[in-house]
């Protein structure tokens, strides 16, 4: 399945992408070290691209003046890059278009990552919209890595998508107060209303610890549902499982203890061993 990738030329600026991916997204960086070697640098480019899209929605300083417009403009720039094929001398854009040009990843998967962040800015009215955003965003990153590793079968990619969603849910459980302080609100409005909150109220820091705890419980429930769906199928090929390894960290975050101030313990050797153990077992 991965043989078609063996002769792929290296990504230009590979060392820089390794450094940037490790700094910007250490969780995905560590997990990407276990994807097939021929797909590893593509994974680093995808991490960098996702980081750019996520940065576009974290705009607390400008939100009061421009609302979502500043973020939407940044995301439209990336959409224009994919549509025009013009990287405008942006290193990540150059590498991303190279992956597209070689057929390493699918354009619709990358566009889904952009759309997920646009929907977050526009507002996620209900659970269904939020689920789609989470699976296209966090899930889409891992699907793109699976495509880079040579996997194309739809059922397999759907399970990798769920695994990416599990990581996204776990990351929200772990970092929710920090995410909100950064000006983001990647939560469905009906869930917020259920605990007496609004998107604007969250951005101004009005959520109580009890409200945050209830939101976290809802996230954990969704993660468990997606995990059950992943486990309904047969074991994934080891190379495919490697592209979904962030789910292991997401599960640990869902189960982990969160301190009274909303912070979580730093990543440690237990997290790394859990990732490697899942790969050795061939199961999450």
Is 115 contained in some domain?
Answer: yes
Which residue in 29, 39, 46 sits closest to 271, CA to CA?
A: 29
**Span 107-120, pLDDT tens digits:** 999 999 999 999 99
Q: Is residue 3 part of a domain?
A: no
CATH number at residue 234: 1.10.600.10
4 is a domain residue: no
The answer to whether the CB of 52 falls within 8 A of the CB of 24 is: no
Residues whose CB falls within 8 Å of the CB of residue 215, separated by 6 or more in sequence, listed in order: 176, 187, 191, 192, 195, 207
Rounded Cα–Cα distance for residues 34 and 249 (Å): 14
Q: What is the mean pLDDT of residues 78-92?
A: 95
Higher pLDDT, 127 or 262: 127
Between CA 116 and CA 69, with CA 97 as vertex, the angle to 5 degrees is: 35
pLDDT in tens, 149-204: 999 999 999 999 999 999 999 999 999 888 887 778 899 999 999 999 888 777 66
135 Cβ partners below 8 Å, 6+ apart? Answer: 161, 162, 164, 165
Do 146 and 121 contact (CB within 8 A), yes or no?
no
Residues 93, 41, 87, CA angle at the centre, nearest 5°? 10
- Residue 188 pairs with which residues in a beta bridge? 124
The Cα 274–Cα 284 span in angstroms is 9
Q: Is the pTM of this model over 0.85?
A: yes
Per-residue pLDDT at 241 exceeds 60: yes
In a domain? residue 18: no
- The tokens of 125 are what? 């009215």
Flag whether 9 is in a domain: no
Percent of the chain with pLDDT over 70: 89
Q: Is 94 inside any structural domain?
A: yes
Length of the chain, in residues: 284
In a 3-state reduction of DSSP, which class is residue 258? strand
pLDDT band at 208 (very low <50, low <70, confident <90, very high): confident
Looking at the 3D structure of the chain, how many domains does it have?
Answer: 1
* C-beta contacts of 59-64 below 8 A and 24+ residues apart: 59/183, 60/181, 60/182, 60/183, 60/203, 61/183, 63/183, 63/203
List, in sequence order, every residue forming a beta bridge with 258; answer none if it has no partner: 264
Determine the Cα–Cα distance for residues 129 and 77; give it in Å rounded to an integer. Answer: 23
Structural domain of 134: 24-58+65-281
Q: Is 8 domain-assigned? A: no
Q: Quote the tokens at residue 156.
A: 């397999």
According to the model, what pLDDT value does residue 3 have?
A: 40
Higher pLDDT, 125 or 259: 125
In the predicted model, is pLDDT for residue 281 greater than 90?
yes
| CA 202/CA 218 separation, integer angstroms | 17
Residue 6 belongs to some domain of the structure: no
């Amino acid at each position: 399945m991965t043989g078609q990738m063996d002769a792929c030329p290296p990504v230009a600026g590979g060392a820089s992408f390794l450094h940037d991916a490790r700094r910007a997204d250490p969780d995905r960086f560590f997990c990407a070290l276990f994807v097939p070697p021929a797909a590893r640098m593509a994974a680093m480019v995808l991490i960098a691209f996702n980081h750019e899209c996520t940065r576009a929605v974290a705009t607390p300083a400008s939100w009061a003046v421009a609302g979502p417009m500043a973020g939407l403009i940044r995301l439209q720039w990336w959409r224009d890059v994919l549509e025009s094929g013009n990287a405008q001398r942006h290193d990540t854009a150059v590498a991303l278009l190279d992956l597209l040009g070689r057929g390493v990843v699918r354009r619709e998967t990358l566009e889904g990552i952009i759309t997920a962040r646009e929907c977050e800015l526009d507002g996620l009215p209900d659970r269904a919209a939020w689920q789609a955003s989470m699976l296209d965003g966090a899930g889409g990153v891992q699907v793109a890595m699976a495509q880079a590793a040579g996997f194309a079968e739809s059922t397999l990619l759907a399970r990798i998508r769920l695994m990416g969603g599990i990581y996204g849910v776990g990351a929200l459980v772990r970092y929710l107060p920090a995410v909100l302080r950064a000006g983001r609100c990647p939560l469905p409005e009906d869930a917020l209303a259920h605990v007496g909150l609004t998107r604007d109220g969250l951005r101004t820091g009005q959520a109580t610890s009890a409200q945050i705890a209830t939101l976290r419980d809802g996230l954990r429930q969704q993660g468990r549902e997606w995990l059950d769906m992943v486990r309904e199928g047969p074991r994934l090929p080891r190379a495919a499982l490697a592209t979904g390894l962030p789910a292991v960290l997401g599960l640990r975050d869902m189960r982990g203890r969160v301190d009274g101030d909303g912070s979580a313990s730093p990543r440690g050797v237990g997290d790394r061993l859990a990732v490697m153990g899942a790969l050795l077992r061939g199961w999450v």
